[in-house]
Structure 1
Amino acid sequence: MKMHKLLLLAVACTWAMGASAQWQWIDKDGRKVFSDRPPPQDIPEKSILKEPGGPRPARAAAPAAGGDAAGAPQGATAPAAAAAPKLAASSTKDRELEQKKAAAEAAEAAKAKAGQEKIARARAENCTRARQAKATFESGRIITQSNDKGERVFMDEAARNAEVKRIDGIIANDCKR
């Protein structure tokens, strides 16, 4: 019985090693593909992200550009071939990060512009109200106010002049173009 368990354990370990022999590549649509089989021939070398450690089927038969096909062992080109997809993947990640950064900066700029437009609209509205109030005060009409007790009181000439001066300050500040 103990021998069967040991054999089962050996088979399970072998099976797990086969699962680690995975290929990874980016297909023509930009999706990451995982498979236990090599990618199709139309996938360029730079799109292959990961390959099993063993010899490469069909693709390894073609010599690399500038490589020594007869003298160099196949394992000697594997580190360089493995480094190229990593560089391609990191440059893709860098481009994605740059795009995200640019999008964030554009969103922040749009938010700042919207804030400035909101302030400009508020100033224009304040300018319009101040000009209307100044016209009312300069018309000579009787103006009333409420005091602390809530009683209606008529505005005298000194209070009227003080209010016109305050309104002129608002116009000077908000009506700049």
Structure 2
Amino acid sequence: MVAAGFALGVCTSAQAQWKWRDTNNRVQYSDLPPPSTVPESAILQRPVGARRSGPQFTPAAPSAPAAAEAASGPARTSDPELEAKRKKAEQDQAAARKAEEDKINAAKAENCTRAKSYLKAIDEGQRMARTNANGEREVYDDKIRAEESKRTRDIIASDCK
């Protein structure tokens, strides 16, 4: 008898259901509360223990002069510190940007040097070969030389400024 009463109590809590009318006036059932867009008057049933959303208490804001005084008081004492931190952060960001630009410029300079060397080898007619997708070796013919020469000239135009 006690076990049956306990099981009944567990089952009813597991069946906690919300019931409300949606914007299309259809009754909705869920074990989750309705969306916040559903007005309080549209909620038809709540699970036991679910609280109604009543008026929320918000503490009164301090008067304007007191708030201004409180805000400006600590700001004045820490203003030089904040200003120094802000300047240091700006300098760090500028240094990071400069380092990144230097790194990019160094890579472009190296690409430029390699491209010029490769173009010189192509234009001089040195025997060159590449491996195709099948793993076979292809010797550069005039068509491949022209394609490689054009591609290399484009790289030189973009990286060598």
Tell me the secondary structure at the aligned position of residue 145 of structure 1: strand
Given residue 175 of structure 1, which amino acid in structure 2 is its aligned partner? C
SS, match of residue 127 in structure 2:
coil
- The reply on whether 1:100 has 2:85 as its aligned counterpart is yes
Q: Which runs of structure 2 are paired with 1:1-177 in the superposition (5 Å)?
A: 87=73, 90-176=75-161
Q: Which has the larger radius of gyration?
A: 1
Q: Distance in 1 between matches of 2:114 and 2:156?
A: 9
Please give the alpha-carbon distance, in whole angstroms, between the structure 2 residues aligned to 1:98 and 1:112. Answer: 21
Which residue identity does 1:119 align to in structure 2?
Answer: I
What is the letter of the counterpart of residue 137 of structure 2? R
One-letter code of the match for 2:145?
R
2:137 and 2:119 mapped to 1: Cα distance?
21
Q: CA RMSD in A?
A: 1.6
SS of residue matched to 1:120: helix
Distance 1:113 1:175 in 2: 20
TM-score by length of 2: 0.53
Deviation at 1:120, TM superposition (A): 0.5
Instruction: Give the counterpart letter for 2:110 in structure 1.
Output: E
Cα deviation 1:99-133 (Å, max 9, x = unaligned): 10110000000000000000100000000000000
Question: For residues 46-82 of structure 1, what are the alpha-carbon distances to aligned partners after superposition, in whole Å with 9 as ceiling and x for unaligned?
Answer: xxxxxxxxxxxxxxxxxxxxxxxxxxxxxxxxxxxxx
Gaps of 5+ in 1: 1-82
Q: TM-score, normalised by structure 1?
A: 0.49
Number of residue equivalences = 91
SS at match of 2:91: helix
Aligned AA (1:120): N
Give the gaps of 5 or more residues in structure 2. 1-68
